[in-house]
Amino acid sequence: MSFLKNHNVTQSSDGGRTIVFVHGYGCDQNMWRYVVPLLFGTGRIVLYDLMGMGKSDAANYDFDRYQSLTGHAEDLVGILDELDAVDAVLVGHSVGGTIAALAAQMVPDRIKALALIAPSPCFINDADYVGGFDLETIEGLIDLMEQNFLGWTSQLVPTITGQKADGLASTELAESFCRANPKISKHFGRVTFLADHREDMSKIHCQTLIVQCSDDALAPLNVGNWLASAIPSSELKVVDATGHCPHMTEPAKTADLLAEFLEALK
């Protein structure tokens, strides 16, 4: 099995360090198109689609394998192996950040650093941890998603983007949700919103950039502060932005932070 083929991997021709972008739930590699051109010249840029998303080979979506985020992390490791990547930087958005973090623990010899964009190891509030939602709300969102996926999309997308429903990012994200196989989207959605990988964050030992939005309903600033405390070699940067997708709504600000981080790694 070729991970590069099955995940629709695309690469820039630039040499240097490998930089792999991992998109979030309901998205595909195309969502990085506002940021990537601003980073040309910083290394070999690699984009791919999570299994079941975008132009990946959805026939290979194994509901048992992807019952946890570990299956997606193992796919990322497979891509890194086929690329023979060394000292790579993984840039992950939202749940893509958790997938990147898990992969970095599996093959630390291949990973130089992580850049986590609007990350959340757990979306559910728990005692002093403020993830953004109580369990009852999450379960309600999942129930709505499973019963009325289009209704769920129209309700949640503006919250994700921080824009009105007819905003550019909202429209694009809604269309992305609608293109995906509903059965896969529902399954991956449940896994995403119920995942709790807080214990894994302290196991990250590479340099890590955390980029959090100043006003994000899905991953509030408390999550960024918690991650900065949990990940040993990390730094938190806050983007003045509303929503959960700064790479789409504030690409220049996001690219500047990524470029500064990459430059400091040299």
Provide the residue ranges of all domains of the chain, joining segments of one domain with +.
Answer: 3-132+196-264
Assign 186 a pLDDT band (cuts: 50, 70, 90): very high
Q: How far apart are the first and last CA of the chain?
A: 34
Q: What is the pLDDT of residue 134?
A: 94
Edge-to-edge strands, sheet with 10-11: 10-11, 44-47, 18-22, 88-93, 111-117, 207-215, 234-242
Cα–Cα nearest to 231, from 200, 257, 261: 200
Q: For residue range 40-89, list pLDDT tens digits in order.
A: 999 999 999 999 999 999 999 999 999 999 999 999 999 999 999 999 99
Q: How confident is the model at residue 176 (pLDDT cuts 50, 70, 90)?
A: confident
Binning pLDDT at 50, 70 and 90, where does residue 177 land?
Answer: confident
| pLDDT tens digits, 253-264 | 999 999 999 999
For the residues 2-7, what does the mean pLDDT come to? 97
pLDDT of residue 90: 98
Average pLDDT of the chain? 94
Q: What is the mean pLDDT of residues 144-172?
A: 87
Which of the pair, 192 or 153, is modelled with greater confidence?
Answer: 192
- The tens digit of pLDDT for each residue in 214-246 reads 999 999 999 999 999 999 999 999 999 999 999
pLDDT higher than threshold 80 for residue 28: yes
Looking at residue 15, its pLDDT comes to 77
Q: Amino acid identity of 1?
A: M
pLDDT score of 14 more than 90: no
Q: How far apart are CA 66 and CA 83, in angstroms?
A: 23
Compute the chain's Rg from CA coordinates: 17
Give residue 175's pLDDT band: very low, low, confident or very high (50, 70, 90): confident
Cα(96)–Cα(24) distance, integer angstroms: 5
pLDDT-derived band at 194, boundaries 50, 70, 90: very high
Return the pLDDT at 173: 87
CATH number of 3-132+196-264: 3.40.50.1820
Catalytic residue numbers, as ranges = 94, 216, 244
Query: What's residue 151's pLDDT?
Result: 82
From 229, 200, 223, select the one nearest 211 (Cα to Cα).
223
Residue 119 has pLDDT above 80, yes or no: yes
